[in-house]
Amino acid sequence: MLFCPKDFNLLMVEEGPESKLRFACNTCPFVYEIKKKVIGRTFPKLKELDYIMGGSAAWENVDSTDAVCPKCSHGKAFFMQLQTRSADEPMTTFYRCCNHKCAHNWRD
């Protein structure tokens, strides 16, 4: 319950009698006692960068350049450029380390 059922304002958390927490409306006398405390959070798993950019097939016919990998300090990296913002913004350059054991992805 996040909104007051009487005037539909956002309910605020306040300390009630006996140091128990409750939801209370700032504009009317509505009060709702909180009975269960939530102590854990679950975060969704983020997608890998490859899925956003077309998977491993997107890296098959790309050029390489002299760029230092921030993970393994290898001196060469594959790169590709994509327009990720509006047309008046510069293109985003994505890199992948040429060291096959590392294969770290980053962007510039």
User: Residue ranges for the binding site for Zn(2+)?
Assistant: 4, 25, 28, 69, 72, 97, 102
Q: Is residue 79 within 8 Å of residue 95, measured between CB atoms?
A: yes
Query: What are the tokens at 14?
Result: 């306040």
H or E element: which one contains 50?
helix 49-52
Binding residue numbers: 4, 25, 28, 69, 72, 97, 102
CA distance 96 to 80: 9
